[in-house]
C-alpha cells in the first residue's frame, strides 16, 4: 500500500513537472511576441526601418507614446470606448437578466418558440445583418451617437441563454418563500434572485466589456465622425500608409497602448475572468 | 427606484449625444495618418516632411489664411472606403475625401460624387493644367470627378553599388534591360557577380505589386486587356510571356522570396538585392539612406521608371485625388470646399516633396521640382503613365485577384495557363456581379 502510494506520488510529481514545463514553454511562446511588440514600441521608426533587430540595443525612446498621447484625440477615444463598453455591458446585464428571468420563471404563450428564436441569434454572424442594421440605424439617425454604438451589442442571445440557465438553476422554493412574505414579482427578481446571480452577471459583464472594447467593425461604420471614434478605430486612423515598415515603432506603441486598459481590467478582475472562462467551459 | 430612473434617463441623454456640423464647417476626410505631436499647429509647409506632415501643415495653413472657414479633419484608417461607404449609405458623407484614382469609378458610376469642372474653373483651377496621366484618371464620361493630388507608379529603386559590381553601370547611369530576354540576362549576370538576387520584391502581403508589373508590361505591348471594362482578357500569349518571365526569375533565385513589404524594404536598405520594385513613396527614405556613411546604399542609389522592354514606353500608374461626395451643403460650405481645393492645387509642389509625382504640368516642368533628388529621372511618367480604362470598376479587388493567381503561377502552385484562366474567370465573375 505504502509502495503504491509513493509511486503514485512520484508519478504525479513527474506529471506535474511535465505539465508545468509545457505550460511555461507555451507561456513563453505567448508572451514573446508581446514583449517584442513592447520592445519595438520603444524604438524610433527610422531605426526600425533599417533594422528591426535594433530593438535589442540602446537607445530606446518613449517618443512613440508621446506622439500617441499628444498627437491624437486619444483621450476622447478612450472616453468613448469606456462609455460604450460600460454602457453596453450594463445594457446587456439588464436586458439579459430580465429576459432570463422571464424565460426561466414566467409562463406565457409562445415562451419556448421565442426562446428558440433568441437562440437562433447565436448562429447568425454579425456580417450577415450589418447592412440591414446600418440602414436601420441610419433611418433612425443613430449613427455617430453613443446609442448607435451601444445598441447593437445589447441584443445578446448568449447573455439571455446564460441568465435563463442560471435562473433555472435557482430552486423555485426561493420565490415561493418570498411570495409568502408578500413580495411582488419585481421585488423577488430585484431583491432576492438577482443578487444570487452575481457570478453569472460577472461572467457576462466581463465578456461583454471585452467584446465591446475590442470591437472594430461596427464602430468603424457607425461612428464615422472622428469625435465618435472608439479607441480601436481612432488608433487605426492615425496610422500612416505602409505603417508596417515606415512607422513600425508607432504602430507597436499603438498596439501596446490599446491593450493596456484591457490589461488593467484583467489585473483587477483576474479572479472573475478565470472563473468566467472556466465556468463557460464547464 | 428614483435613483434607478434618474440613472436610466441620464444614460438615455448620454446615449443620444452626437456631433453636428456648423454652417461654415467642412469635413475633410483623409488617409495619410496623423502627426499632431509634430505638426499639430504648424503652418510652415516648406519645412514639413512626409505625407502626413505636409498634408497637416497644408490644411493648417489654409485654416490660418481663411479664418471664416472651419475645417474639421477626420483621419481614417487606410484606405477608408468602408467608412466612406457607410457614410454614403447613411446620407452623411464628408465634404472632401482622399480617394485613389483607381477607386473613383466605383463611386462615380453610382452617382455618389459631384462633377467638379465648373466650380474648379470658377476658382481658377483649369483641368487642362493637369498632367495627362492625372487628367485621364479623374475624367469620367467627359467630366472631372476629382482634384488630382498626385500620381504614383511602380519604380525600379536601384542599388548602384551592386550594379557597378555587376558591370551594369555606364556613364554613372544604370544599364537597364530593353527586352525580357535582356532582363533575364542582366539578372543572371548580376547574381553571378554579386551573389545577390537581382530583384527585391514584397510578395507575401503585397501581391498587387505583381499585378502592377503585369499591367505595365502589357501596356508596353499595347495589349488592350480591358477592351470591355466588364471583362478582362488575361489568356493572351503576351500575358503568358510576362508571367513566365517572373516565374523564371523566381525559379533561378533571381529575386528575393517570401518577403512581406516590411521585410523587402528592410532587405533593400540592407543590401539584399539590386532592384526593389516599389512605388514613388520610398524615394525620400532611400535617398536619405544613400547619404549615410558605411551603408549598402551609400552614394549608390538610383531610381528609374520601369524600363521599356517592349515597343511602347508605358508604366501603369495610380494616384490620389480629392473627391466631393454628393450631399446637401450650405453656400458657405460649398464656397469653402472650392477655396480649399484651389489652395491645395496651388501648393501641389509641396506635396510632390513626398516622392509622389505632381498632378500639374506646371509643377512637373518647374525647376524646383526637377531640382528635388531623383525627380528628373521619373518625371517622364507624367506622360508615359497609364491608368486602367476609367470605366473599370473594383480595381483594388481586381488587383488582388490577379496578384494572387500570378503568385500561384510564379511559385509553381499552378501552371501559368491555369493561373491566368482562374484569374480571368474570377475577375470577370466579380465584374459580372456588380450592382
Q: Note the pLDDT tens digit of each residue in A132-190.
A: 888 899 889 898 999 999 999 998 899 999 999 999 999 999 999 999 988 898 899 99
Is residue B89's pLDDT more than 90? no
Report which of residues A133 and B325 the model is more confident about: B325
Q: Report the candidate in A154, A123, A160 with the shortest Cα–Cα distance to residue A218.
A: A154
B51 and A143: CB-CB below 8 Å? no
In the numeric block, which cell numbers belong to residue A106? 414566467
CATH number of the domain enclosing A175 = 1.10.3720.10
CB pairs under 8 A between A and B: 123
Q: Is residue A154 part of a domain?
A: yes
Give the helix/strand (H/E) hosting B418: helix B416-432
A93-126 residue pLDDT tens: 999 999 999 999 999 999 999 999 999 888 888 8
Taking Cα atoms as reference points, which of B352, B434, B335 lies closest to residue B23?
B335
CATH topology identical between B21-152+318-386 and B155-316+393-432: yes
Residues A22 and A126 in one domain: no
**Residue A45 in contact with partner chain B when CB distance is under 8 A:** no
Least CB-CB distance to B14: which of A146, A148, A237? A146
Q: Do B38 and A71 touch (CB under 8 A)?
A: yes
A56 and A154 share a domain?
Answer: no
Distances B332 to B26, B118, B252 between C-alpha atoms, Å: 9, 17, 62
Q: Mean pLDDT across the stretch B323-332? A: 94
Cβ atoms B177, B239 nearer than 8 A: no
Same domain, A111 and A231: yes
Residue A1: per-residue pLDDT: 45
Closest-CA distance, B312 to chain A, in angstroms, reads 31
Pick the CATH number of B21-152+318-386 from 3.40.50.880, 3.30.70.1090, 2.60.40.10, 3.40.190.10: 3.40.190.10
Bond prior to B79 in cis (omega within 30° of 0): yes
In the block, which residue shows the cell 445598441? Answer: A151
Q: Helix, strand or coil for residue B130? A: strand
| Distance between A240 CA and the closest CA of chain B, angstroms | 4
Domain that holds residue A230: 72-237
- What gap in Å lies between CA A163 and CA A165, rounded to an integer? 5
Percent of chain B beyond pLDDT 90? 77
Q: Which of A90, A226, A228 sits opposite B18 (nearest CB)?
A: A228
Indicate whether A2 pLDDT > 60. no
Regarding whether A55 and A146 lie in a shared domain, the answer is no
The DSSP code for B357 is E
Cell 540595443 found at: A57
Q: What is the ipTM of this complex?
A: 0.73
Last residue of a domain, one of A217, A237, A257: A237
B287 compared with A12, residue with greater pLDDT: B287
| CATH number at B155-316+393-432 | 3.40.190.10
Picking from B133, B176, B177, the residue whose alpha carbon sits closest to that of residue B381 is B133
**B42 phi/psi in degrees, rounded to 5:** -80, 145
Selection from B17, B155, B30 nearest residue B83 by Cα = B30
Residues of B in contact with A227 (CB under 8 A): 19
Residues 6+ apart with CB under 8 A from B5: none
Nearest CA in chain B to A73: B36
Question: Looking at the structure, do residues A205 and A233 belong to the same domain, yes or no?
Answer: yes
A104 shares a domain with A19: no
Mutation for B interface: A224, A231, A238, most B CBs within 10 A: A224
Average pLDDT score over residue span B235-254:
97
Nearest to A159 by CA among A112, A185, A122, A130: A122
Within 10 A of B360 (CB to CB), how many other CB atoms are there?
23
State pLDDT tens for residues A217-236. Answer: 899 989 888 889 999 898 88
Query: Is A186 found in the same domain as A159?
Result: yes
Chain A hits for B92, Cβ within 8 Å: 143-144, 224
Residue A100's nearest CA partner among A83, A118, A74 is A118
DSSP letters of B140-197? Answer: ETTEE--EEEEEE--EEEEEHHHHHHTT-EETTEE---SSHHHHHHHHHHHHHHHSS-
Question: Does position B49 have pLDDT exceeding 60, yes or no?
Answer: yes
d(CA A152, CA A150): 6
Q: What is the mean pLDDT of residues A243-265?
A: 82
Same-domain pairing of A38 and A76? no
Least confident of A128-137, B13-22, B133-142: B13-22
Q: Is B258 helix (H, G, I), strand (E, B) or coil?
A: coil
Are residues A104 and A10 both part of a single domain? no
Average pLDDT of chain B is 91
Contacts of B8 (CB under 8 A, 6+ apart): none
Domain boundaries, given as residue ranges, for chain B: 21-152+318-386, 155-316+393-432
Backbone angles phi, psi at B276, to 5 degrees: -100, 120
Q: What is the pLDDT of residue B240?
A: 97
Residue B159: half-sphere exposure toward Cβ, Cα within 13 Å: 27
Residues A54 and A145 reside in one and the same domain: no
Confidence band of B180 (pLDDT split at 50, 70, 90) = very high
* Interface subset of A 52-71, CB within 8 angstroms of B: 52, 66-67, 70-71
Tell me if chain B has a CB within 8 Å of the CB of A228: yes
Phi, psi of B135, rounded to the nearest 5 degrees: -60, -45
pLDDT value for B17? 55
Give the model's confidence band at B69: pLDDT under 50 very low, under 70 low, under 90 confident, else very high: very high
Average pLDDT over residues A237-242: 74
Cell of B155: 519604380
Residue where a domain stops, chosen among A35, A63, A91: A63
Contact call for residues B273 and B267 (beta carbons, < 8 A):
yes
> Could you tell me the three cell numbers for B235?
489568356
Residue A167 lies in a domain: yes
d(CA A32, CA A12): 30
Mean pLDDT, rounded, for B7-34: 71
Is position A95 within any domain?
yes
* Predicted confidence band of residue B96 (pLDDT cuts 50, 70, 90): very high
The runs of H, that is alpha helices, within B258-385 are 261-269, 283-290, 331-346, 348-352, 361-364, 367-370, 375-378, 381-384
pLDDT at B202: 86
Mean local confidence (pLDDT), B242-259:
95
Distance CA A8, CA A2 (A): 10
Mutating which of A241, A247, A258 best tests the B interface, going by the most B Cβ atoms within 10 A?
A241
Across chain A, how many H-helices and E-strands are there? 16, 0
Q: How far apart are CA B22 and CA A235, in angstroms?
A: 26
d(CA A246, CA A59): 19
For residues A47 and A80, state if they share a domain.
no
Share of chain B above pLDDT 70, in %: 95
The pLDDT confidence band at residue B282, using thresholds 50, 70 and 90, is confident
The predicted-structure confidence for A76-95, as pLDDT tens digits, reads as follows: 998 999 999 999 999 999 99
Q: What is the 3-state secondary structure (H, E, C) of A109-156?
A: CCHHHHHHHHHHHHHCCHHHHHHHHHHHHHHCCCCCEHHHHHHHHHCC
Please, which residues have CB within 8 angstroms of residue B51's CB and are 6 or more apart in sequence?
A240, A241, B32, B33, B281, B354
A34 and A168 fall within a common domain: no
**Residue A186 placed within a domain:** yes
- Give me the number of domains chain A comprises: 2
Cell numbers for B102, please give them: 483607381
Q: Are strands B315-316 and B385-386 parallel, antiparallel or unpaired?
A: parallel
Q: What percent of chain A has pLDDT over 90?
A: 45
Sheet of B96-100, strand order: B70-75, B25-30, B96-100, B318-323, B147-152, B357-358
Residue, of B91 and A151, whose pLDDT is higher? A151
pLDDT digits (tens, 9 = 90+) for A18-61: 999 999 999 999 999 999 999 999 999 888 888 888 888 889 99
The Cα–Cα gap between B268 and B256 comes to: 10
Q: How far apart are CA B312 and CA B328, in angstroms?
A: 46
Q: What is the pLDDT of residue B20?
A: 60
Report pLDDT for A125.
Answer: 85
CA pseudo-torsion sign B41, B44, B45, B51: negative
Amino acid at each position: 500500500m505504502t509502495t503504491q502510494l509513493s509511486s503514485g506520488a512520484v508519478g504525479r510529481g513527474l506529471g506535474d513537472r511535465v505539465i508545468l514545463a509545457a505550460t511555461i514553454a507555451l507561456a513563453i511562446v505567448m508572451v514573446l511576441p508581446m514583449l517584442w511588440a513592447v520592445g519595438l514600441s520603444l524604438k524610433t521608426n527610422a531605426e526600425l526601418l533599417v533594422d528591426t533587430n535594433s530593438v535589442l540595443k540602446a537607445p530606446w525612446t518613449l517618443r512613440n507614446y508621446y506622439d500617441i498621447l499628444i498627437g491624437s484625440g486619444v483621450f476622447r477615444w478612450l472616453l468613448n470606448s469606456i462609455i460604450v463598453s460600460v454602457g453596453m455591458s450594463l445594457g446587456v446585464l439588464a436586458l439579459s437578466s430580465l429576459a432570463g428571468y422571464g424565460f426561466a420563471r414566467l409562463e406565457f404563450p409562445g415562451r419556448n418558440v421565442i426562446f428558440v428564436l433568441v437562440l437562433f441569434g447565436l448562429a447568425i454572424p454579425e456580417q450577415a445583418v450589418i447592412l440591414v442594421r446600418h440602414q436601420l440605424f441610419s433611418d433612425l439617425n443613430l449613427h455617430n451617437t453613443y446609442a448607435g454604438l451601444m445598441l447593437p451589442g445589447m441584443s445578446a442571445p448568449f447573455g439571455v441563454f446564460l441568465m435563463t440557465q442560471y435562473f433555472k438553476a435557482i430552486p423555485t422554493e426561493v420565490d415561493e418563500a418570498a411570495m409568502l412574505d408578500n413580495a411582488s414579482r419585481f421585488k423577488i427578481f430585484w431583491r432576492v434572485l438577482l443578487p444570487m446571480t452575481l457570478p453569472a452577471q460577472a461572467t457576462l459583464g466581463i465578456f461583454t466589456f471585452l467584446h465591446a472594447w475590442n470591437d472594430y467593425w461596427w464602430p468603424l461604420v457607425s461612428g464615422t465622425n472622428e469625435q465618435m471614434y472608439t479607441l480601436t478605430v481612432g488608433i487605426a486612423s492615425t496610422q500612416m500608409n505602409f505603417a508596417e515598415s515606415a512607422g513600425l515603432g508607432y504602430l507597436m506603441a499603438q498596439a501596446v497602448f490599446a491593450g493596456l486598459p484591457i490589461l488593467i481590467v484583467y489585473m483587477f478582475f483576474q479572479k472573475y475572468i478565470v472563473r468566467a472562462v472556466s465556468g463557460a467551459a464547464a | 427606484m428614483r435613483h434607478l430612473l434618474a440613472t436610466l434617463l441620464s444614460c438615455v441623454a448620454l446615449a443620444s449625444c452626437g456631433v453636428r456640423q456648423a454652417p461654415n464647417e467642412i469635413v475633410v476626410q483623409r488617409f495619410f495618418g496623423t502627426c499632431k505631436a509634430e505638426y499639430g499647429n504648424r503652418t510652415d509647409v516648406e519645412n514639413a516632411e512626409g505625407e502626413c506632415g505636409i498634408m497637416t501643415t497644408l490644411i493648417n495653413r489654409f485654416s490660418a489664411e481663411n479664418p471664416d472657414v472651419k475645417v474639421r479633419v477626420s483621419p481614417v484608417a487606410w484606405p477608408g472606403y468602408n467608412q466612406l461607404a457607410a457614410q454614403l449609405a447613411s446620407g452623411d458623407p464628408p465634404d472632401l475625401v482622399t480617394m485613389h484614382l483607381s477607386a473613383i469609378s466605383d463611386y462615380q458610376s453610382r452617382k455618389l460624387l459631384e462633377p467638379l469642372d465648373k466650380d474648379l474653373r470658377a476658382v481658377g483651377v483649369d483641368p487642362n493644367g493637369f498632367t495627362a496621366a492625372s487628367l485621364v484618371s479623374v475624367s469620367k464620361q467627359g467630366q472631372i470627378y476629382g482634384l488630382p493630388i498626385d500620381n504614383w507608379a511602380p519604380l525600379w529603386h536601384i542599388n548602384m553599388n551592386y550594379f557597378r559590381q555587376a558591370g551594369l553601370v555606364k556613364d554613372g547611369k544604370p544599364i537597364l534591360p530593353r527586352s525580357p530576354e535582356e532582363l533575364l540576362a542582366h539578372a543572371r549576370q548580376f547574381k553571378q557577380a554579386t551573389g545577390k538576387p537581382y530583384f527585391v520584391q514584397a510578395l507575401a502581403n503585397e501581391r498587387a505589386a505583381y499585378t502592377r508589373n503585369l499591367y505595365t508590361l502589357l501596356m508596353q505591348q499595347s495589349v488592350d486587356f480591358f477592351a470591355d471594362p466588364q471583362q478582362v482578357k488575361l489568356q493572351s500569349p503576351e500575358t503568358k510571356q510576362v508571367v513566365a518571365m517572373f516565374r523564371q526569375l523566381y525559379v533561378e533565385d533571381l529575386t528575393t522570396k517570401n518577403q512581406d513589404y516590411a521585410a523587402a524594404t528592410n532587405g533593400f536598405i540592407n543590401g539584399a538585392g539590386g532592384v526593389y520594385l516599389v512605388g514613388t513613396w520610398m524615394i525620400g527614405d532611400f535617398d536619405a539612406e544613400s547619404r549615410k556613411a558605411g551603408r549598402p546604399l551609400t552614394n549608390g542609389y538610383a531610381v528609374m521608371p520601369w524600363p521599356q522592354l517592349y515597343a511602347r514606353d508605358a508604366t501603369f500608374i495610380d494616384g490620389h485625388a480629392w473627391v466631393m461626395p454628393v450631399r446637401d451643403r450650405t453656400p458657405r460650405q460649398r464656397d469653402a470646399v472650392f477655396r480649399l481645393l484651389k489652395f491645395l492645387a496651388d501648393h501641389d509642389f509641396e506635396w510632390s516633396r513626398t516622392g509622389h509625382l505632381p498632378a500639374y504640368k506646371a509643377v512637373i516642368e518647374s525647376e524646383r521640382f526637377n531640382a528635388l533628388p531623383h525627380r528628373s529621372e521619373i518625371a517622364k511618367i507624367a506622360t508615359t503613365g497609364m491608368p486602367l480604362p476609367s470605366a473599370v470598376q473594383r480595381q483594388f479587388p481586381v488587383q488582388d485577384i490577379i496578384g494572387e493567381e500570378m503568385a500561384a503561377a510564379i511559385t509553381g502552385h499552378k501552371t501559368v495557363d491555369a493561373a491566368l484562366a482562374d484569374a480571368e474567370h474570377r475577375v470577370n465573375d466579380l465584374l459580372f456581379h456588380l450592382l
